[in-house]
Amino acid sequence: MQRWNVNLSSNDWQRHPEADSVCRSLIDGGLVAVPTETVYGLAADATSGTACARIFQAKGRPSFNPLISHLPNLEAARHHGVFDDRALKLAEAFWPGPLTLVVPKTEASEISDLATAGLSTVALRVPSGPIMRYLSEKTGRPLAAPSANRSGKISPTRAEDVIADLGHALDFVIDAGPCEVGIESTIIGLTDEHVTLLRPGGLAREEIEKVLQTKVRTPASNNQPEAPAAPGMLTSHYAPNAQMRLHARAVAPNEALLSFGVDPIEGRESALAEANLSPSGDLVEAAAQLFQAMRTLDSSGAKTIQVQDIPNTGLGEAINDRLRRAAAPRS
């Protein structure tokens, strides 16, 4: 595995010789860990069945689970997906950014059946993280990229997390520091007359409702492991080694505490470890800290992580979704 450190605040990262090597690797079917504003992605050429198969193999991911394809802009995305008025409105309002649209796949799209899991729909995203957009533009390929972690584990928000989990399987890792949003993109389904929230994420539902002037529907199946609307939404997911306990009322000395705000909780002082997602109660900050905090508490060796309640508005919906999955019974 080769490593490329990118400093996004300087303008010449695109001219770095490593940029060419990474593009060549992708065109040759390589696996590259790429930072986006949400989480680090495990990227490969979405038009190559072999390259996509390598993603599934590296992640140990069930292959019925389709992948998101990343593109440099809306125009490139329209080659692969059919955009109705609603899709265009959302893309214009929120791309580049933490929003994925599931739309009907076009006849012309070269995205492989393995990336779409054989569905007639396709998940498309134009991230605001510039490296993924740049690599897609340069290679002329849509880039399939799930989060760069082994299936069912915590999503990575730093290059070190990726290397620890998947380093052996990668051709390149691009390190641009911690991800800004820290939680995966919101996935909106637009394949029928409804606007469906397939996965809450880094863009709040309220923002989408404001732009479309309509209610966003939550499929009941989001909470049913047997028939998830977004096939990747298996109940037990994002799992640390420790057991997560939601709605904490007290914490024992051998337990860890995932806290939020400054509400008092019994036993805090003697807990084995504590991470506060946002002492000031800011949900954007909490989303950005979530996965890192789970990793830190997990490495404290505690068998149980007690989790304080988090409001379910704005990005709180996505945070609570991830916490529920992390706390779900494991198979």
Which of 25, 38, 116, 147: binder of Mg ion (CB under 5 A)?
147
Number of residues in contact with ligand TXA, rule: CB under 6 A? 29
Count Cβ atoms below 10 Å from residue 84 Cβ, excluding itself: 11
Residue 305, classed as helix, strand or coil, is strand
- Asked if 39 touches ligand TXA (CB under 6 A), the answer is yes
Q: Which is nearer to ligand TXA, 129 or 251 (CB)?
A: 129
- CA torsion 185-195-123-207 (nearest 10°) is -30
Phi-psi region of 82 (alpha: psi -120 to 50; beta: other; left: phi over 0): beta
237 and 325 Cβ atoms separated by less than 8 Å:
yes
Which of 45, 171, 184, 321: binder of ligand TXA (CB under 6 A)?
184
Bridge-based pairing state of the strands 256-259 and 273-276: parallel
By CB under 6 A, which span of 230-238, 241-249, 275-283, 311-319 interacts with ligand TXA? 230-238
143: CB partners within 8 A, 6+ apart: 26, 34, 41, 43, 44, 45, 46, 69, 70, 71, 132, 135, 136
The residue number with the shortest CB distance to Mg ion is 147
- Asked if 200 touches ligand TXA (CB under 6 A), the answer is no
Binding mask 65-84 for ligand TXA (x = CB under 6 A): xxxx----------------
- Asked if 261 touches ligand TXA (CB under 6 A), the answer is no
Q: Which is nearer to ligand TXA, 19 or 198 (CB)?
A: 198
Residue 251, classed as helix, strand or coil, is coil
Binding site for Mg ion (CB under 5 A): 147
Binding site for ligand TXA (CB under 6 A): 36, 38-39, 41, 65-68, 100, 102, 116, 119, 121-123, 125, 127, 145-147, 184-185, 187, 198-199, 230-233
